[in-house]
A and B are shown apart, each in its own frame.
Chain A
């Protein structure tokens, strides 16, 4: 084995009573791509934050390039040649690429020589690694894939020999992700060391040389990627075997429950986000909407659920028209049997400061079951919350706990329990498993299938292609506000990927 670029020995880190990292040992060989997988909350981000100087370990040693290192700030990490590409980009949106690259690495007050130096250095990096970006483009005008490239360039510009990438493909199309992997491989060939944090096992299999699995703060295994399987990794992550593909029978589609015709929605700036979209959802089927985030799916969901007013369009619920252009409000739609699990559970689907039981009635708080005249029927609400906690295995099972203190998966279960238990005719779900760990994903998928099997119409929007393919009976692909294609559940990833990237659409337009 080549010399270790990074070696972590006995790293411990606690936050209060919670041991986020316990006794972690990790060796990353120079010139390799090393994957770190684990469920949310397994401690991967904490570990990388220790390596990058955001946190200090309570105990343990870090060796970089064979020498003990003390990393107190991210500047220390950069000095040691460690660069990090964050999941949420740390770029200044209205700066140019060049300005972002030199940010924090300016050498003089007037910037003139910094910029000149940066320009030639950037040019060299771009050629060397195939990372073409226009240095004078403004960040906010670049697609996400290119923004990420800028992040990588930024790290390389600072002389990074070791690159840490935190969930890099979360925001990318399949084509962009492929491109990223090619870049990473090229970087590896040039001798860089790459640490890839992800929860997507397929990516691990595709690109890494070795992979380490974390579970509940401990490092449970390290494998040579070629010698392991997706199944084994998944099992190591959750500690038991999980279904990667939900089992489901044939759908028995019934009558049309939700019909959308020529729906057009604009955002607050007046930009058309949903452009003349039409589709039906029948009882007993799951319709999935695939697409790269930002292609109008969010606005579509908001319009159908009454949160955002549509500009035009005819929508019927159970055969009866609803006016989404100004009249219908979410409360009315809910009364008519449309339940909505919003994409953004932190700000929309839940009030994080509320106790769990208070969130379990959000939107249904005007239901007689939960009221005694103008007063809340606290006993009934508590009993109801306890029932849902039981049925949906929400942990910890304390209805008085502040919602912010639940994990992502359990928060999502609180929303799902609330919406599904109202027995709606139509259920629309945005990003059903975003930020949810593997165990909960399986549970949520099974619940959605069960809804379908009860004859409900289910509309799912997700940026996770695997999820769409595994859940849907029909798949609609959105690109630039339009539905650009409909496919069956057996559509290949490549086919959907092309649609999502708008390739077929653009060809058709020419």
Chain B
């Protein structure tokens, strides 16, 4: 039998199983909270209220989600081509360099709506370039993409440190970051949308990158399922032999997929750099690339799932910050533990409960699982 699991109905596959995984993650996290002597239910309430209770919270949640949508999409595009891009972190970091170059050059002369498209192109191009090198090494030399992309994260970090304490740092400044951009390189906020619903927002960094992220999610869907290139990527992803048979060039498809993945990663930098900090600082990506892996896995590599998973992680970031503030016993590190549990259950142990659910479904309505006759192995 070639498929390890029979198929579940779509709603169970994409709704029920993630929900169960998530619940288990929260239950286990609850025990951790209990262990440090706090009330897990109150902690959960603070977490959710912190993320969605007030307008400002929602805006912050969506701001973080924007970042994770980009990195999640980046990981997913490569994964559809069976490439495990761990280098989203570094590609995003280098994407920030592209943005810095555009913004520092033009922020005094051009308006934001001219600079923004230029910055998008620069971020995508720099990220793609950082994905290209490992892709080339994989396609031509067989160097494993997991290893090379991890190494390129370190190289990216070193390059950026070198530039941010040197060439990009304004003379006389003590901080390892570029000068602050002028108004021309600041992106419009989207807080007014939330205010339309009557919520009050003090100040939050939610900006038009959120819309860009949603557009990219749609474009990724289009790419993967509706274009010839996406078809070729999926063919290679499922079966390199079938791709060879179909006349798809292995080199071309690996390089293309990784460049698109890198471009999406690079575009992530637009959100914090142009939308929030208005400068490029050391370590501004701060792990969002790795969170992207969890987001992509939890979203089942589908853009809709990725957007939802990104919002979940945005909630954990925002609500977690509130929680650390409200409950001193729960430190910032505790939040990281909770996030880790979510990643563990939703990502790594994704299939843990699947066989049980399947048995359950099969016993209620066998038709729903689309079980096939067990075929004889006769030649």
Contacts and interface: CB of A to CB of B under 8 A. Distances in A.
Interface of A: 14-18, 20, 38, 40-46, 87-88, 166-167, 170-171, 197-199, 305-307, 329-332, 334, 340, 342, 344, 346-354, 358, 362-363, 365-366, 371, 374-376, 378, 402, 404-405, 407-408, 434-435
B372 to A, nearest CB: 5
Given A14-B366, A348-B242, A365-B246, 5 more contacts: A16-B370, A17-B371, A40-B378, A167-B378, A365-B231
A167 B232 CA distance: 37
B235 interface: yes
B23 interface: no
Interface string B233-264: 01100110110111111000000000000000
Given A167-B378, A347-B239, A378 B246 contact: no
A358 B247 contact: no
Contacts of A366: 228, 247
B6 to A, nearest CB: 7
Contact of B370 (A352, A362, A405): A405
B379 A434 contact: yes
A228 B239 CA distance: 46
A14 B373 CA distance: 9
25 contacts: A15-B371, A16-B367, A16-B370, A17-B371, A18-B372, A41-B376, A45-B375, A45-B376, A167-B377, A171-B379, A329-B249, A330-B244, A330-B246, A334-B247, A348-B241, A348-B242, A349-B245, A351-B239, A352-B3, A352-B239, A362-B242, A363-B247, A365-B231, A434-B379, A435-B379
A352 B372 contact: no
Contact of B378 (A20, A45, A171): A45
B226 A330 contact: no
B333 to A, nearest CB: 40
Contacts of A351: 234-235, 238-239, 242
A156 B228 CA distance: 56
B245 A348 contact: yes
B2 interface: yes
Contacts of A44: 376, 378
B242 A167 contact: no
A354 B247 contact: no
Contacts of B204: none
B374 interface: yes
B226 A378 contact: yes
A354 B242 CA distance: 12
B236 to A, nearest CB: 10
B104 interface: no
A347 B372 contact: no
Q: Which of B232, B241, B370, B376 has the most CB of A within 10 A?
A: B376
A428 to B, nearest CB: 12
Nearest to A42: B376
Nearest to B371: A16
A16 B238 contact: no
B358 to A, nearest CB: 10
Contacts of B229: 374
B144 interface: no
A123 B353 CA distance: 50
Contacts of B232: 365
Given A16-B6, A376-B228, A87 B377 contact: yes
A15 B377 contact: no
B377 A88 contact: yes
A363 B241 CA distance: 12
B7 interface: yes
A435 B3 CA distance: 17
Contacts of A405: 370, 372
Given A330-B244, A358-B231, A353 B371 contact: no
Contacts of B234: 351, 354
B208 interface: no
A187 B90 CA distance: 68
A16 B369 contact: yes
Nearest to A431: B379
Given A45-B378, A351-B242, A404 B2 contact: yes
A350 B376 CA distance: 20
B362 interface: yes
Given A307-B245, A362-B235, A16 B362 contact: yes
B61 to A, nearest CB: 34
A375 B223 CA distance: 8
A363 B375 contact: no
B237 to A, nearest CB: 9
Nearest to A344: B241
A347 B232 CA distance: 15
B227 interface: yes
Interface string B4-31: 0011000000000000000000000000
A347 B241 contact: yes
Nearest to B245: A348
Q: Which of B222, B367, B373 has the most CB of A within 10 A?
A: B373
In order of increasing CB-CB distance, the 7 nearest A-B pairs are A331-B247, A16-B371, A16-B366, A170-B379, A45-B376, A17-B366, A363-B246
Contact of A20 (B3, B231, B245, B374): B374
A106 B2 CA distance: 32
A372 to B, nearest CB: 10
B2 A41 contact: no
Given A87-B379, A348-B241, A331 B228 contact: no
Contacts of B245: 305, 307, 330, 340, 342, 348-349, 362-363
A375 B224 CA distance: 10
Given A16-B6, A41-B375, A434-B379, A374 B247 contact: no
A199 B375 CA distance: 14
B68 to A, nearest CB: 27
Contacts of B247: 306, 329-332, 334, 363, 366
Contacts of A43: 376
A369 to B, nearest CB: 12
Contacts of B374: 15, 18, 20, 45-46
Contacts of A353: 238
A340 B376 CA distance: 26
Contact of A375 (B2, B227, B244, B378): B227
A87 B371 contact: no
B289 to A, nearest CB: 27
Contacts of A40: 375-376, 378
A367 to B, nearest CB: 10
A15 B376 CA distance: 13
A197 B235 contact: no
B238 A354 contact: yes
Given A18-B371, A362-B242, A374 B228 contact: yes
Contacts of A17: 366-367, 371
Nearest to A381: B231
A405 B228 CA distance: 24
B378 A197 contact: yes
B377 to A, nearest CB: 5
Given A329-B249, A330-B245, A351-B238, A45 B377 contact: yes
Contacts of B241: 344, 347-348
Contacts of A344: 241
Q: Which of B2, B229, B242, B375 has the most CB of A within 10 A?
A: B242
A342 B247 CA distance: 13
A223 to B, nearest CB: 20
A331 B246 contact: yes
A489 B212 CA distance: 67
A374 B377 contact: no
B77 to A, nearest CB: 16
Contacts of A41: 373, 375-376
A169 B201 CA distance: 77
A347 B375 contact: no
B227 A376 contact: yes
Contacts of A197: 378
Contacts of B371: 15-18
A354 B375 CA distance: 19
